[in-house]
Amino acid sequence: MRLSRRGFLTLAGLGGASALSGCGGQLPPADVTVAGFGEGARGTINVWCRSETQSGTQAMVDAFHAAQDRIRIDLTPIPGGQYVTKLATAIRGRRPPDLVDIDDINSALFIYRDAFTDLTPLIEELPYRDRLSPGHLGLATKDEKFYGVPFLADNSVLWCNLDLFDRAGVDIDEATTSFEGYLEAARAISALGDNTWGWSYPGNSSGALGFTVQPHIWAADRELIAGEVGSQSGNVAGNDAVRRTLEMLRTMWDEELVPPGSFSDDASRWNADFVAGRLGMMPNAYGVIVP
């Protein structure tokens, strides 16, 4: 059979994020339990991805194309800041993509409006079901039903340029165990000159800052939010882990251990200096370097 608009959904279990369904009642909902669903499917699937995840998504698309010739993927990258608006507009216009790579936090906006397909039967049948990331899967769950699957685990990591560490005479294992070690390494690497810098951060991107600053706070077994859900409050005043983390970042700026553009970087240029070999340490996502 040829792949119909709603017949593509079996692929969601192969690495997609969320599949569009009834779209607010404007399109017929998909039923993944019908007999013969997805068997012998052929055709083209329209997939949207975020611009930030384009390289990783394209690598997956290329591998999928190389593995079979029945189904083709038409991949469209969408700027991350416009993603929710454009997807909502496409749904209202009754021309949504078939499959979307969506930020797991934003997925709830569509799940609770019945825009995504119930993929529970497909997910439960996966041979690797027990190995799916429970955190990501939980954010795609409503009323014990799954409306998406984990796609790219964008983990917070600290990237280090081993060549710059060697040139600066810094032991990477010792330098990356404390804030003091970060600062000493950043000073030694920045002292190499030739537009090399010890550290970097996107000072004009609250989301990216949260992604890379908060892990230092969590590592000290502290939280930024205190209390039970429904009666929570900020946990900033008197939080020593927050104070020490911000002091470390301020010192990086005051001592000019970060590129001057870090102050206004909105994360669009975040990894450029590291890729160019001019940056010693870069807290960032795993996916920005490894597809």
Supply the DSSP string of 95-161, one letter for each residue. Answer: ---SEE---HHHHHHHHTTT-B---HHHHHT-TTGGGS-HHHHHHTEETTEE---------EEEEE-
What angle, rounded to 10 degrees, do the helices at 240-254 and 179-190 form? Answer: 10
Q: Tell me, what's the pLDDT at 231?
A: 86
For position 40, what pLDDT does the model report?
A: 85
Host H or E run for residue 58: helix 54-67
- How is residue 143 written in tokens? 């009323």
Kindly report the backbone phi and psi dihedral angles of residue 191, in degrees, each rounded to the nearest multiple of 5, phi listed first: -70, -10
Per-residue model confidence (pLDDT) at position 128: 94
Tell me how long the chain is: 291
pTM over 0.85: no
**Residue ranges of the chain whose pLDDT lies below 50:** 1-16, 22-25
Instruction: Give the whole-angstrom CA distance, residue 264 versus residue 155.
Output: 24
Locate all alpha helices (DSSP H) within 134-260, ordered by sequence: 134-139, 162-168, 172-175, 179-190, 206-219, 240-254
**Sign of torsion over alpha carbons 122, 127, 130, 136:** negative
- State the pLDDT at residue 8: 34
Identify the pLDDT of residue 20. 62
**3-state secondary structure at position 44:** strand
What's 234's DSSP letter? E
How many angstroms separate the Cα of 75 from the Cα of each of 22, 45, 53, 100, 115?
A: 22, 8, 12, 10, 20
- CATH 3.40.190.10 domain range(s) in the chain: 7-146, 156-288
pLDDT value of position 227: 87
The fold of the 156-288 domain, in CATH, is D-Maltodextrin-Binding Protein; domain 2 (3.40.190)
Return the CATH superfamily for domain 7-146.
Periplasmic binding protein-like II (3.40.190.10)
User: How far apart are alpha carbons 64 and 281 in whole angstroms?
Assistant: 34
Helix (H) / strand (E) containing 200: none
pLDDT of 5 reads: 36
- Give the pLDDT confidence score for residue 283 in this predicted structure: 92
Tokens of 147: 């409306």
**pLDDT at residue 12, rounded to an integer:** 35
